[in-house]
Amino acid sequence: MTETLTQTQALAAEALAAAGGRRTENGQQDRAPAVVLENVGKRFGAGPAVLEDINATVRQGEFVALLGASGCGKSTLLNIISGLDVPSSGALEVPSDGAAFMFQDASLFPWLSARGNVELALKLRGVGRAERRVRAGELLELVNLGNAADKRPHELSGGMRQRVALARSLAQDRALLLMDEPFAALDAITRDLLHNELERVWKETGRTIIFVTHNVREAVRLGQRVLLLSSRPGTVVAEWQVSEEHRTNAAKAVELTGDITARLREEIRRHA
């Protein structure tokens, strides 16, 4: 019996390690860091600092909303995390295979079908033709677009095009997904529907997500944590935990949204 118990514990430990975390005393999983930013700063040429002393840790499987006024450096920070740009100062740790990126504009190739756009990301990874078709179909099903696989972008609504873009991002098979205001151009009802879809996909795939927005309600609706950047130079000035109670209790969600909005307005006035 002792030997069996030891083997079981070993298997559990291996599974937990594969998931990127360990079990704490209170039974919660303490996940390993996926992204670590240490005193990250950025300036372009001799211009003023865009980012300054950014310190933050995002853990594996976590959904973090990055909030701030327009022009505070949110997109610049995502570019640094993705490797599209380099910091002027500080250091960062990111997954060795990089990150998938989803932009505000779906940027689909108009001559390709929804399936073809997703297959292209798979092709760039070296996935064979037969497997590409199957996998693209699975990803489109995941975002509830299985019936639209053969439609071209002009035949799809804005929300559907963003779903295709999400499926294409997932096709890159990266543990880290960076999203730069992907729903900002959509109407309120479509945005709410896509919030539900994104939350479902996140839970099903276990991705680590950093989601940039300037919409406080959206940040509270999606994020497990909300990080607030000050206006330029952007630095993390506040952080909020979004609990399950905030997700299920409308009054609590409104209260948290009000608190964050007040702090955001304070930062905007301070740098006006």
Which pLDDT tens digit goes with each residue over 226-240? 999 998 889 999 999
With pLDDT > 70 as the criterion, what percentage of the chain qualifies? 89
pLDDT of 16 reads 37
Cα gap 72→19, rounded to integer Å: 34
Which pLDDT tens digit goes with each residue over 54-76? 999 999 999 999 998 888 899 99
- The pTM (predicted TM-score) of the whole model is 0.86
Kindly indicate the confidence band of residue 181, based on its pLDDT and cuts at 50, 70 and 90: very high
With pLDDT > 90 as the criterion, what percentage of the chain qualifies? 72
- Of 8 and 143, the structure prediction assigns the larger pLDDT to 143
What mean pLDDT comes out for the span 167-194?
92
What mean pLDDT comes out for the span 20-41?
68
Question: Please, what is the average pLDDT of the chain?
Answer: 87
Using the predicted structure, report yes or no on whether residue 39 has a pLDDT greater than 90: yes
Cα gap 212→259, rounded to integer Å: 19
pLDDT of 272 reads 65
Bond prior to 233 in cis (omega within 30° of 0): yes
Q: Set out the domains of the chain in order of their start, with CATH numbers.
A: 31-99+174-272 (3.40.50.300), 109-173 (no CATH)
Kindly indicate the confidence band of residue 267, based on its pLDDT and cuts at 50, 70 and 90: confident
- Of 43 and 69, the structure prediction assigns the larger pLDDT to 43
- Of 269 and 178, the structure prediction assigns the larger pLDDT to 178
